[in-house]
Each structure stands twice: as structure tokens, then as C-alpha cells.
């Protein structure tokens, strides 16, 4: 996409190269986990947002907080795609890579498109650092002919230039502080390359370091660094061209940038107002869900209570206790934590109390790959409990959608008096996109009622004829004293009961009240007309849309539909599925939703399965779909 | 407020329509009796009381109290009780469960509930055995215990519940025996009155799987020599003839006989507020020492978690008056697409 042609012959005085207009650009920043790459990426995201581009980001960081400097496993990356039209993914191959050290270079080289630009901090490519990331002695990849003929390598002595620009004779500054500003130098170069103003970033740096942190000197150093990088880009003539991506024609309105985890936090806060009672979020720190705890902990003034529990099981039990006492109990975790909570979720199923369990999924069984993403907890979510133990299952499909699904979780849980597991994914939780700010007033209230005594003996398991939910009587209510627990209960009276027929009836009740939610969940919408339907769920929505756009451009038409409700499924799902000759289901697992769909509807759905601990690449998904559509069905 | 008449109850008002299903002669009956008696005198409305339990024989307790109740899952009752109390601090929360539930599978939750000092009342029914699963050794069983799961004797050293409570920062620690309903009732009430977590260990007889375990402390002919009833501000005297006492010697405590130059003035005086002394008392086991009964330790200075949480929430609310949800959702960093 970006030209790799050599810089044109130039005259003695530097002149601004011509600006090339591009529809979209994908950039990746990488370096040591201590190099501030997430921050740099985040600042650049703000820059492209202000310029009115659509964008999608994906951080890629190591589990180690500060891995040994210069090592491959300590590399932290941040990818962003920005465009002049609507986009849904952070991009497959990147057009420009910024590598702050050899380890970043080595582990991210494969992400760069052929002919792409790679800007490296060449000062870091010394013997010791090259050795640390496993290069042969006397080999420097920057001198490799093959690499130089494949990519446009821009060698910038960033360490030296940053020091030279920042250290002034009459000023005492620490070299460490100066070196920390290299990332802003790099950001300056990239800002220039993509024709972006740096003033808004300077304002933010000044406010953050100067006002919030009370370190005006650090603010000044960062400001000098970004300016130095920008001017370097302008004068060094390293680049054949500057690039420009025009603003995207998004739906008019006020936008902010949002990540999935931020959106869940705002969704819960909104739900607290809409339901008119406090939400009690109890959680145990776990990657990648901890940011939800951090975000909610700041919102006590919005009806949110948070509690950092001693373990995952305590967290869910505290949430259930809070629900029993009349607040809305929520717990958040990732896959391993969900496994620990499963017995307690079963208790909430038996007690028939509201409970929301947020699962920001990560990759692999056991500890797996905590900072990588996967959709592989679906079957655990559906079935990972003892006995016949159905829960409501919903899944978010984009960072912004996390907001709406958080509210949906509370709406469904309180209506059915049943736990909801809300599935998010690491790649949604940490990814950011522009988000049209919703009008809070237009979001409907969530109606919840608690019974009062009518003088008759209270029947805790008497069900509402419409919803089949039992009543939510809370302690403190006169005349409704009752006992509930994990033992099987007699229908209506709620007393402990081991009767065979009663157990059969209660088993069905617990399942049927979830099915009843089909009355209030939206039908599945299908886009496009074709014999083939691409059916997805969760974070793959953006990739599927992009892949389908790519296929349509080639004249291959497929229809798409995306499930947000998995238990219960939308009412029309069976009808939709039966109206297509071919169903293709891309998933970031071995085919978990496909298993559910095949068993429930007896359709011969074909899977496209990515097990790499990352999102699909648009091109790979498009070509796999194409292959299946053209008759090569697996 | 003073105009509101306190509810008047009799113990039987707390009975439910459920048949009590403990084995005949089980020590749990005595605890149930004491609890009903105590609840009837508290002046607390039934609607504001919640009983929480885990799993085990003792954990059936909530079904037999006509209040709100939750019979939860194995070991997790302290966490559930924490959620109940924090969601509605107006409620009076009792947690009744056994030694296996609170000290083995639920040990982690127990210590964390104790350290937080949430205003809940934990009653540990310690029968040194697993009853509901039919007779395996428990975390409080003595070394060498022969049970179905340890036919050649158990190898685990027993856990000391009182010492655990002290180490966890518990602010009200007491011990009593199932047969002593009168004293148990008094202690349950003191535990209720205490602001913060109260922890009461009850020596409880499992007359099917571990009968006579506590006989030394319950039988007329031995109990006065094997236990000592602590009274705040009083010298520590015990024995059938009230002729024995406890004396401090260096870092330890020794049993002495009164007379022969030893007088009451030489004895330790019980001080509920003395943490170090409470620890020494927690280490006394029969037959070398009498086992301490009554209130071992009280700390009234430590604020409760629920109060602190309430204050923090109020403080944050007052500091953020006028902030709207729409402003929060919008954030401070927006741009407009025309």
C-alpha cells in the first residue's frame, strides 16, 4: 500500500515531499515492555481520532511486566489501522513498523507487508542487543540485503538524537528521564510521516505530566522529544513521501474512543442507573479482566460498589450474597476464574437469583496465554457446571458493543432470576475503536420489583406466569422470611425436596425460563443475500464484515449474521439457518458454537477455525470462505 | 425512634415448619436452643436477621430458624455472608457452620472474613469430625485419629481455631460448650453486640461419629478441672474445689495450686483486651491445662469493614456531586463527525 520506491533525487535544501493520499494505513509500534509502546500507540490513536479517521487498535503485550531488557519475550506491541472509510479490524499486515530495539524488530518483522516501511532505532542494534534476541554473531539484520530489498528500512539513531535534542548545557536532567522520551521521538516521526499535527499530543503530555503528575520538567522533555522527532522527519529526507488518510464518513455525532473493558464499565454504570439500585462488583484480579475492576472502583458515585475478594470463588459468592440482599451481584473474570466459580454459579442457578458473570476470555487451558485472545470458553460457559445447570449466555461483538451487552446482561438476569454469563474477549477488552456516544436518556429503564407480604405464607418458588421467574424477596421485608440454598427445592414452596417428579419439573423450569427470554431478545438479522451464510459470534464480527467486503469486491456474495444471544438463541435462528444451502462458521476455537448449532438444528455447518491466539486476518478468512464457497468444503 | 416498640418474641417464634433432622442427641440441638432464646431477646425484627451456612450437619441450621436464610455451598459461607452484609448493613448476619466447612474447605474465606472485621457473627460448631460424610477426620481432629479414611491413624496436626482467629485479626473471640446452653446464650449475645466480626467456637458433640470427644470438658466429675471460665477482671481460678489457678511464668503460663504461699494475687487476671494473654490462653489444652471458656479476646478499636465502606462511598459521592452519567459516558476526549 505504501510505496517502497526509493526517495526521489533531491536538491540541497530539504523540501517537503509530496503527500500521497491513502484509503487506510496500518501502523505497529514495538519495543521493550519498558519502552512505553502502549502509551505511544494510545497517543497516536488519539491523533487519528481527532483527525476524523475510523480506526481499530490491538495491543499485543507480554505477560511479564518488565521482562529482561532486549529479550524477545519482553516485546510489547501496539497496532492501529486508520482509514477514510469504515473499518473493522486493526489490519492484517502493517504498512509501517516502528521498532525501538532488535527484539521488537525480530519478533514483528513478519507483520509488515512486503514493501512496507520499518523505522528502527539503530542505536539499539549493537552487538549485545543483537545477541540477546538470538541473532548470530557479526550479523545485523539492518545490513541484510534480503531484508533491505523486501522492506524500506529507515535507520534512525533515536537514542542519540533524543539525548542531543533534550539535554541542554545549562539544565540538569537525568539521562534516564531523557532516554524514556525516545518513544515520543518516534511518535514525532510517525506524526510527520502521516501528516498529523503534534500540538494536541503536546497539550496532553503537558497536562498529564505537568498538571496531573506535577512534573513540568518531564512534560517539557516529552514535548521536546516529539517536536524533535517531527522536525527530524521533515528534514532528514528518509522517506520518499508523506501520507495522508482523509477523514472517514462516519455517522454524524459525537465520538469518543473506547475499549471493550471501558465499555463494560460504562455499561454497568448505566445499568445501575436504569435499574435504580446499586451494582455490587466483586472480583479477583486476573488478566485481561482486571481493568473492569479498576474502572468500576472509581465509580462509587454512580451506584457501583466494588470488592476485591480473596479469590475467584469468594468473589462470585460475595456477588450472590449481595444479590440475595437485594443489590445486583456481578463478578468478572477470565477463563480459569470461571472454572473456579462454576460451583457457585450452580448455587445461583438453584437459588434463582440474579447474577452477572463477566468472562473476558483469554487463550488456552490452565494459565495458557493470559495476554492473548481466544473464544474457547463457550462450551465451558454453556455446560461447565455439575448437573443440568443452564445459564443465560450472551457475547459482545465489538468494543463499543460491550456497553450494550453489559446492560443486556442485567436486563436478562433480573427478568429471569438467573445467572448470565457475559462473554467478552481479551481482544475486545483491550482493543479500541471510535464510538458514537449514546444518549443515556434514550436507554430504557430496567424494571425490577420486590414483593411485599400479603399476609399469606410466602412461596419463594412460585413463578410469574409470563417470565416463569420466581419472586425476588429480599431480607428486611416483613413477613417474607424464607430459606433458600443449593439443595433441590420443592416447586412453589421452596422447601428442601428430594421427590423424583419434583426434580424433573424443577430441572425443566430452570431451563424453560431461559427459553422464555426469546420473547424479549431481538431476532437474528441477516445482511446480504446468497445461498451461503457466514454465522459468527463475539469478536470475529469485524473481521467477518471486512472479509465479506473483500469477497464482494471480487464478485463473491455471501450473507452474514452475528449472534449476540447464545442461550437462548434468537427465536428465528432455526428458520434462518434452514434457508441457506451452506452455513460457514468462523471461530477462534475448534468449533464450539458450531457444535451447538449442529446439535440443536441438525445443519451441516462448516467451520473455519483459528487457533493462533489472535484475531483472524481478513485475507486468510476471506480466502478460506472463498475456497469453501467454490466447492472445496472441508 | 424510641417510640417504635421493639419486637417481642419467644424462642419458639423462631421455629420453622421444618422437622429438625439432626441425629438424636446431637450437640447442634443445644446450639439451636440457645440461638432461638438469644434471638428472642435481642429486640431485632426477624425480618432483619439472616442465617448463612455452608455444607455439613451444622450447615442445616438456617432451615430451622424462621428468619431469612441461605444454605450455600461447601466452605463459602463467609464470602456469601460478606456480600449480604455489605449490600445491606442493616441486616444482622449469623454464620453457623462446622469445622470441616469453616476450617478446611473454607479456611481461606474464614481468615479473610476475620481480618476484614465485617460485622457478622461466626459460630463454629467444632465436633472434630466430618459427620455428614459419615466419619472422616477433620482439620481439628487429634493426630492419630482412626477413622474410615485413616484406618492407621491420621497424620495431620490439628488446627487451633482460636489461635487462627487471633492471627487473622479477629476482634471478638470466645469459646463455649454445647451442654452449657446458659453460657452459650450469653456469649452469642455478646458476639451479636460486638461491632465487628465475632467468632465463637462451640465444642459440639457428634454422638454418632465422635461421641465422647469432649467428655472431659462436659462431664460433671472432670469439667471443672479441665476447663476454666474466664471473667474479665477476675483472677484465673478453676478446679472442682476452686483451688487451682493460672500464673504467669516468663513467657508462659503455669498451673498452680492455691495455698502453700500461692495466693489469688499471684494469679493472672483475665483481661479481654490483652492480645498477648489471649494467645497464651489459646495454647492451653487438657490435660496439661484447663481449656479456656468464655470471652478470650475483644478489640473494640478496629473499625468495621462495612462502616469504612459506607464512609468511603459517602465521601466519594459528596466529592462528586453534580456529575452526570451522561458526562461519564461521554468522557473528556471526544470529537464530532459532521
Greater model confidence, B333 or A545:
A545
The answer on pLDDT for A252 being more than 80 is yes
Mutation pick from B62, B68, B71, B320 vs chain A, by most beta carbons of A within 10 Å, is B68
Interface of A with B in 471-490 (CB under 8 A): 474-487
Using CB atoms, pick whichever of A301, A311, A478 lies closest to residue B108.
A311
pLDDT above 70 as % of chain A: 97
- Predicted pLDDT of residue A583: 98
Predicted ipTM > 0.85: yes
Q: Which residue from A318, A282, A513 is spatially nearest to A412, judged by alpha carbons?
A: A513
Q: How far is A476 from chain B (nearest CA, A)?
A: 5
Q: What is the mean pLDDT of residues A175-185?
A: 95
Using CB atoms, pick whichever of A317, A326, A346 lies closest to residue B87.
A326
Are both A201 and A112 inside the same structural domain?
A: yes
CATH number at residue A49: 3.40.920.10
Q: Which chain A residue shows the shortest CA-CA distance from B81?
A: A321
Query: Cell match 450474597: residue?
Result: A321
Query: A4 pLDDT band (50/70/90 cuts)?
Result: very low
- Predicted pLDDT of residue B279: 97
Picking from A520, A543, A563, the residue at the C-terminal end of a domain is A520
Please check whether residue A23 touches B, CB under 8 A.
no
Q: How far is A213 from chain B (nearest CA, A)?
A: 18
Are both A545 and A430 inside the same structural domain?
A: no
Are both A94 and A173 inside the same structural domain?
A: yes
Picking from A495, A520, A545, the residue at the C-terminal end of a domain is A520
CATH number at residue A343: 3.40.50.970
Are both A333 and A230 inside the same structural domain?
A: no
Are both A414 and A539 inside the same structural domain?
A: no
- Predicted pLDDT of residue A10: 45
Round to whole Å and give the CA distance between B121 and B126: 16
Whether A73 is in a domain gets the answer: yes
The answer on pLDDT for A13 being more than 70 is no
Using CB atoms, pick whichever of A252, A326, A485 lies closest to residue B71.
A485
Greater model confidence, A93 or A240:
A93
For residue A231, the enclosing domain spans: 19-245
Q: Which superfamily does B11-213 belong to?
A: Thiamin diphosphate (ThDP)-binding fold, Pyr/PP domains (3.40.50.970)
The answer on pLDDT for A634 being more than 70 is no
- Please provide the average confidence, as pLDDT, over all residues in chain A: 94
Greater model confidence, B3 or A298:
A298
Interface of A with B in 310-329 (CB under 8 A): 310-311, 313-315, 317-327, 329
Whether A179 is in a domain gets the answer: yes
A253/B333 Cβ within 8 A: no
A52-69 pLDDT per residue, tens = 999 999 988 877 767 788
Q: Which residue from A285, A592, A567 is spatially nearest to A421, judged by alpha carbons?
A: A567
Whether A634 is in a domain gets the answer: no
B52/A266 Cβ within 8 A: no
How high is the mean pLDDT in each 10-residue block of chain B (338 residues)?
74 94 94 97 96 96 97 98 98 97 98 98 97 95 96 97 98 97 97 98 96 94 97 98 96 94 96 97 97 98 97 97 97 89
Round to whole Å and give the CA distance between B148 and B21: 23
Q: How far is B208 from chain A (nearest CA, A)?
A: 24
Using CB atoms, pick whichever of B81, B316, B334 lies closest to residue A321.
B81
Q: Running DSSP on this structure, what letter comes out for residue A466? A: T
Are both A167 and A298 inside the same structural domain?
A: no
- Paired strand residues for A31: A76
Q: How far is A478 from chain B (nearest CA, A)?
A: 5
Round to whole Å and give the CA distance between A347 and A132: 51
pLDDT above 90 as % of chain A: 90
Whether A434 is in a domain gets the answer: yes
Q: Which residue from A454, A498, A449 is spatially nearest to A470, judged by alpha carbons?
A: A449
Query: A171 pLDDT band (50/70/90 cuts)?
Result: confident
Query: A438 pLDDT band (50/70/90 cuts)?
Result: very high
CATH number at residue A603: 3.40.50.920
Burial A392-421 (b: 16+ CB within 10 A, else e): bbbbbbbbbbbbbbbbbbbbbbbbbbbbbb
C-alpha of B95 from chain center = 8
E-strand ranges in B164-231 read 172-177, 198-203, 227-229
Are both A490 and A611 inside the same structural domain?
A: no
Picking from A203, A218, A245, the residue at the C-terminal end of a domain is A245
Are both A496 and A540 inside the same structural domain?
A: no
Are both A200 and A275 inside the same structural domain?
A: no
Q: What is the mean pLDDT of residues A472-483?
A: 97
Number of domains in chain A: 3
B305-327 pLDDT per residue, tens = 999 999 999 999 999 999 999 99
pTM comes to 0.94
* Torsion sign across C-alpha atoms A247, A252, A254, A255: negative
Are both A374 and A499 inside the same structural domain?
A: yes
B266-288 pLDDT per residue, tens = 999 999 999 999 999 999 999 99
Please check whether residue A50 touches B, CB under 8 A.
yes
Using CB atoms, pick whichever of A314, A326, A343 lies closest to residue B109.
A314
| Across A122-131, A233-242, A529-538, B77-86, least confident range | A233-242
A367-409 pLDDT per residue, tens = 999 999 999 999 999 999 999 999 999 999 999 999 999 999 9
Query: A14 pLDDT band (50/70/90 cuts)?
Result: low
Q: How far is A126 from chain B (nearest CA, A)?
A: 40
Are both A439 and A465 inside the same structural domain?
A: yes
Whether A12 is in a domain gets the answer: no
* DSSP alpha helix (H) spans, A2-152: 37-50, 102-108, 127-132, 145-150
Amino acid at each position: 500500500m505504501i510505496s517502497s520506491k526509493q526517495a526521489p533525487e533531491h536538491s540541497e535544501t530539504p523540501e517537503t515531499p509530496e503527500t500521497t493520499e491513502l484509503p487506510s494505513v496500518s501502523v505497529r509500534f514495538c519495543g521493550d515492555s519498558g519502552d512505553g509502546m502502549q502509551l505511544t500507540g494510545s497517543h497516536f490513536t488519539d491523533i487519528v481520532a481527532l483527525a476524523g479517521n475510523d480506526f481499530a487498535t490491538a495491543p499485543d503485550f507480554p505477560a511479564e511486566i518488565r521482562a529482561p531488557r532486549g529479550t524477545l519475550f519482553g516485546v510489547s506491541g501496539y497496532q492501529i489501522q486508520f482509514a477514510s472509510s469504515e473499518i473493522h479490524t486493526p489490519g492484517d499486515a502493517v504498512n509501517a513498523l516502528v521498532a525501538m530495539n532488535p527484539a521488537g524488530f525480530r519478533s514483528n518483522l513478519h507483520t509488515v507487508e512486503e514493501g512496507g516501511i520499518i523505522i528502527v532505532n539503530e542505536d539499539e542494534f549493537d552487538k549485545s542487543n543483537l545477541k540477546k534476541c538470538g541473532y548470530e554473531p557479526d550479523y545485523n539484520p539492518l545490513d541484510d540485503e534480503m531484508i533491505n530489498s523486501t522492506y524500506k528500512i529507515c535507520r534512525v539513531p533515536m537514542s542519540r538524537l533524543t539525548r542531543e535534542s533534550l539535554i541542554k548545557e545549562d539544565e540538569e536532567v537525568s539521562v534516564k528521564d531523557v532516554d524514556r522520551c525516545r518513544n515520543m521521538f518516534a511518535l514525532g516521526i510517525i506524526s510527520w510521516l502521516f501528516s498529523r499535527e503534534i500540538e494536541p499530543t503536546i497539550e496532553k503530555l503537558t497536562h498529564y505530566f505537568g498538571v496531573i503528575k506535577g512534573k513540568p520538567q518531564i512534560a517539557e522533555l516529552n514535548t521536546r522529544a516529539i517536536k524533535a522527532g517531527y522536525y527530524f522527519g521533515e528534514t532528514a529526507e528518509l522517506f520518499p513521501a508523506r501520507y495522508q488518510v482523509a477523514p472517514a464518513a462516519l455517522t454524524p455525532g459525537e465520538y469518543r474512543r473506547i475499549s471493550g473493558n471501558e465499555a463494560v464499565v460504562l455499561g454497568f454504570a448505566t445499568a445501575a442507573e436504569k435499574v435504580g439500585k446499586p451494582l455490587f462488583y466483586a472480583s479477583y484480579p486476573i488478566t485481561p479482566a482486571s481493568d473492569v475492576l479498576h474502572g468500576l472502583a472509581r465509580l462509587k458515585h454512580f451506584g457501583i460498589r466494588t470488592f476485591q475478594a480473596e479469590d475467584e470463588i469468594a468473589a462470585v459468592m460475595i456477588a450472590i450474597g449481595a444479590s440475595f440482599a437485594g443489590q445486583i451481584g456481578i463478578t468478572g473474570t477470565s477463563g480459569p476464574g470461571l472454572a473456579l466459580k462454576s460451583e457457585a454459579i450452580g448455587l445461583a442457578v438453584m437459588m434463582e437469583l440474579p447474577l452477572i458473570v463477566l468472562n473476558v476470555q483469554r487463550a488456552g487451558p490452565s494459565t495458557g496465554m493470559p495476554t492473548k485472545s481466544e473464544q474457547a470458553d463457550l462450551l465451558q460457559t454453556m455446560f461447565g457446571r455439575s448437573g443440568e445447570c443452564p445459564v443465560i449466555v450472551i457475547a459482545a461483538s465489538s468494543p463499543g458493543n460491550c456497553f450494550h451487552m453489559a446492560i443486556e446482561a442485567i436486563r436478562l438476569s433480573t427478568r429471569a432470576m438467573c445467572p448470565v454469563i457475559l462473554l467478552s474477549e481479551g481482544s475486545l477488552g483491550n482493543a479500541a475503536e471510535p464510538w458514537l456516544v449514546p444518549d443515556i436518556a434514550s436507554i430504557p429503564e430496567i424494571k425490577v420489583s420486590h414483593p411485599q407480604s400479603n399476609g399469606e405464607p410466602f412461596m419463594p418458588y412460585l413463578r410469574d406466569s409470563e417470565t416463569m421467574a420466581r419472586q425476588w424477596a429480599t431480607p428486611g421485608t416483613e413477613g417474607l422470611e424464607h430459606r433458600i440454598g443449593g439443595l433441590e427445592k420443592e416447586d412453589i414452596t421452596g422447601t428442601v425436596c428430594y421427590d423424583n417428579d419434583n426434580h424433573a419439573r424443577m430441572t425443566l423450569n430452570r431451563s424453560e425460563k431461559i427459553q422464555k427470554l426469546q420473547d424479549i431478545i431481538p431476532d437474528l438479522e441477516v445482511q446480504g443475500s446468497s445461498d451461503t451464510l457466514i454465522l459468527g459470534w463475539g469478536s470475529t464480527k469485524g473481521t467477518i464484515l471486512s472479509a465479506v467486503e473483500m469477497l464482494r469486491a471480487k464478485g463473491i456474495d455471501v450473507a452474514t449474521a452475528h449472534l449476540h444471544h447464545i442461550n437462548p438463541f434468537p427465536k428465528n435462528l432455526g428458520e434462518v439457518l434452514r434457508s441457506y444451502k451452506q452455513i460457514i462458521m468462523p471461530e477462534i476455537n475448534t468449533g464450539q458454537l458450531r457444535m451447538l448449532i449442529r446439535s440443536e438444528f441438525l445443519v451441516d455447518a462448516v467451520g473455519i477455525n483459528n487457533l493462533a491466539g489472535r484475531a483472524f486476518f481478513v485475507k486468510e478468512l476471506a480466502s478460506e470462505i472463498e475456497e469453501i464457497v467454490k466447492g472445496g468444503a472441508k | 425512634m424510641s417510640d417504635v416498640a421493639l419486637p417481642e418474641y419467644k424462642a419458639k417464634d423462631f421455629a420453622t415448619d421444618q422437622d429438625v433432622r439432626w441425629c438424636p442427641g446431637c450437640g447442634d440441638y443445644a446450639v439451636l436452643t440457645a440461638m432461638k432464646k438469644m434471638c428472642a431477646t435481642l429486640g431485632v425484627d426477624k425480618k432483619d436477621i439472616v442465617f448463612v451456612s455452608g455444607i455439613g450437619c451444622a450447615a442445616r441450621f438456617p432451615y430451622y430458624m424462621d428468619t431469612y436464610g441461605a444454605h450455600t455451598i461447601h466452605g463459602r459461607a463467609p464470602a456469601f455472608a460478606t456480600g449480604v452484609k455489605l449490600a445491606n448493613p442493616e441486616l444482622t448476619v449469623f454464620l453457623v457452620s462446622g469445622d470441616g466447612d469453616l476450617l478446611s474447605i473454607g479456611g481461606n474465606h474464614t481468615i479473610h472474613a476475620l481480618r476484614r472485621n465485617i460485622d457478622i457473627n461466626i459460630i463454629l460448631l467444632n465436633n472434630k469430625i466430618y459427620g455428614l460424610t459419615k466419619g472422616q477426620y477433620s482439620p481439628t481432629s487429634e493426630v492419630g485419629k482412626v477413622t474410615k479414611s485413616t484406618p492407621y491413624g491420621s497424620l495431620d496436626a490439628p488446627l487451633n481455631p482460636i489461635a487462627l482467629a487471633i492471627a487473622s485479626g479477629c476482634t471478638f473471640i470466645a469459646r463455649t460448650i454445647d451442654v452449657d446452653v446458659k453460657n452459650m446464650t450469653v456469649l452469642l449475645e455478646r458476639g451479636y453486640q460486638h461491632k465487628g466480626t465475632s467468632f465463637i467456637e462451640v465444642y459440639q458433640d457428634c454422638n454418632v461419629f465422635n461421641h465422647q470427644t469432649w467428655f472431659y470438658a462436659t462431664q460433671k466429675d472432670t469439667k471443672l478441672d479441665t476447663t476454666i471460665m474466664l471473667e474479665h477482671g477476675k483472677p484465673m481460678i478453676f478446679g472442682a474445689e476452686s483451688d487451682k489457678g493460672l500464673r504467669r511464668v516468663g513467657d508462659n503460663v503455669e498451673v498452680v495450686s492455691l495455698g502453700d504461699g500461692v495466693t489469688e494475687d499471684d494469679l493472672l487476671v483475665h483481661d479481654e483486651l490483652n492480645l498477648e494473654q489471649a494467645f497464651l490462653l489459646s495454647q492451653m489444652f487438657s490435660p496439661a491445662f484447663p481449656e479456656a471458656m468464655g470471652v478470650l479476646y475483644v478489640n473494640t478499636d478496629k473499625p468495621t469493614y462495612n462502616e469504612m465502606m459506607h464512609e468511603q462511598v459517602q465521601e466519594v459521592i459528596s466529592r462528586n456531586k453534580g456529575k452526570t452519567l451522561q458526562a461519564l459516558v461521554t468522557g473528556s476526549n471526544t470529537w464530532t463527525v459532521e
